[in-house]
């Protein structure tokens, strides 16, 4: 699978990850890598995991997350 954004730029670059929101294949150059707290249902409520999970998004979805709500 090739990177979707690279194909829009007429390039053939292999995808190294899949966006966790839209499922698009992304290369290292178009990937936004972040962490996410993981919570587990334990007893009377959620408990946070000891480590954060890795999270890959494409630039479109990552940018939409950080823009905030539409006015």
Domain boundaries of the chain, sorted by first residue: 4-67
**What is the 3-class SS of the chain, one letter each residue?**
CECHHHHHCCCCCECCEECCCCCCEECCCCEEEEEECCEEEECCEEEECCCCEEEEEEHHHHHHHHHCCCC
Beta bridge partners, 18, equal 25
Q: What does the pLDDT look like over 14-60, one tens digit per residue?
A: 999 999 999 999 999 999 998 888 777 777 766 766 778 889 999 99
Contact 21, 31 (CB under 8 A): no
Q: What is the pLDDT of residue 69?
A: 63
Pair of tokens at residue 28: 């290292």
> Over 90: is that where the pLDDT of 70 sits?
no
Whole-number pLDDT of residue 13: 97
> In this structure, what token pair is assigned to residue 30?
């178009």
């Amino acid at each position: 699978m090739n990177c979707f954004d690279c194909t829009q730029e007429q390039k053939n670059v292999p995808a190294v990850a899949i966006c966790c929101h839209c499922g698009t294949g992304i290369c290292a150059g178009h990937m936004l890598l972040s962490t996410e707290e993981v919570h587990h249902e334990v007893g009377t409520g959620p408990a946070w995991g000891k480590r954060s999970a890795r999270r890959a998004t494409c630039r479109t979805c990552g940018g939409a997350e950080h823009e905030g709500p539409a006015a």
